[in-house]
Amino acid sequence: MALTADAQRLIDGIAADMKLPMHTSSVGELRASYAARMTAPSTEIHSVRDVVVPSAAGGVPVRVYRPTDEESLPVVMWLHSGGCVFGGLDQNSEYLRKLSLAAGVVVVSVDYRLAPEHPHPAALEDCRIVWDWLVAGPPEVPADVTRAVVAGESAGGTLTFALTQQLRDSAGSLPVAQVSFYGAAEMRVSNPEQRCLIASPEDCEWFWDLYAPDPQSRQFPDVSPGLARDLTGLPPTFVVTAEVDPTRDATEAYAQRLAAAGVDVNLMRYEGVMHGFATMLGALPQARNVFDRTVAFLAPILASPRAGT
């Protein structure tokens, strides 16, 4: 199945503003052109606050979205897309406001360090620092941190998978659920035939070369979570994939292995759309469907405090 007409029009519009495929730009050009496409959010929300989480590297900026002043709401820690090379706190602002309101959650968006200035493991280290800070119940984020979820898109989805494995292996506080929108479970192209101007196979290789320049590192689960041998003991998982995505099959295989290991998994593939579609609310009906299904997935999990707390 080819891209839908809506998806192709969307890509054509992006190509009018940005140089595509992305790997044909320099890192600086890509960051600048992506930032230039961002628009101010229009959805009203109770509060938005920027905080810097202490770290040895000088702090990790986060942005906290709060739908009400209630201090016992669950939390979603959000990890943005961008190949671990571009993106930041201004990314997904409209989407995260809508998610906060619809799911009734405090959203904490993480501005993790980016490659090539900060290659692996910097991004994952920052995510772990923010997670540990968050579940300790910081006064800056009054919430029910016993009901905390990790969620991410693309590179953020990969970091989500890697973080939950790391938390399990180090006896950290696991999230009550994890959500990944087409996060690559392995740093390899499993579907070279699935290509378009967004996230082409060559784009993926370019991002991986910047993020994990040592090819040997891509054989370890903190870079390629799908290569982990033991997948038991991980939290309920919602995985979204796109038909036109060169990393699709490897990611779906990871979801299937999670299920075989006894993890509660909800895997959804969306036909006719490309990697990157899920947060494009208003542009693609499939994105709205993912949004609604994400809220529905989280609702029963976040309905009551974690057992034993």
Write the pLDDT tens digit of every residue in 125-160: 999 999 999 999 999 999 999 999 999 999 999 999
Q: How confident is the model at residue 200 (pLDDT cuts 50, 70, 90)?
A: very high
Nearest residue to 209 (alpha-carbon basis) of 226, 181, 189, 183: 189
In the predicted model, what is the mean pLDDT of residues 67-88? 98
Statement: residue 308 has pLDDT above 50: no
120 catalytic? Reply is: no
What is the chain's Cα-based Rg?
Answer: 18
The model carries a pTM of: 0.97
Give the model's confidence band at 306: pLDDT under 50 very low, under 70 low, under 90 confident, else very high. Answer: low
From residue 72, how far is each of 31, 101, 166, 272, 305 by CA, in Å? 37, 15, 27, 40, 10
pLDDT at 172 over 80: yes
- Average pLDDT in the 295-305 region? 92
| pLDDT > 80? residue 3 | yes
Mean pLDDT along residues 275-288 = 96
- pLDDT for the residue 137: 97
Alpha carbon distance 307, 309 (integer Å): 6
The predicted-structure confidence for 26-36, as pLDDT tens digits, reads as follows 999 999 999 99
Amino acid letter for position 206: W
d(CA 194, CA 189): 10
**Which CATH number applies to 5-301: 3.40.190.10, 3.40.50.2000, 3.30.1360.120, 3.40.50.1820?**
3.40.50.1820
The pLDDT value recorded for residue 1 is 58
Quick check: 81 pLDDT over 60?
yes
- pLDDT for the residue numbered 305: 65
User: What integer pLDDT is reported at residue 17 of this predicted model?
Assistant: 86
In the 8-state DSSP scheme, what is residue 305? P
Q: Determine whether 46 is an active site residue.
A: no
Task: Return the sign of the alpha-carbon dihedral for residues 156, 159, 165, 166.
Answer: negative
Catalytic site residue 47? no
Res. 168: pLDDT tops 70: yes
- Tokens representing residue 139 in the block: 């006064």
Tell me the helices (H) and strands (E) count for the chain, helix number first.
Answer: 8, 8
Catalytic one among 23, 80, 120, 275?
275
Catalytic residue (one of 81, 109, 154, 190): 154
**Structural element, H or E, at residue 258:** helix 248-260
**Active-site annotation holder among 111, 126, 144, 245:** 245
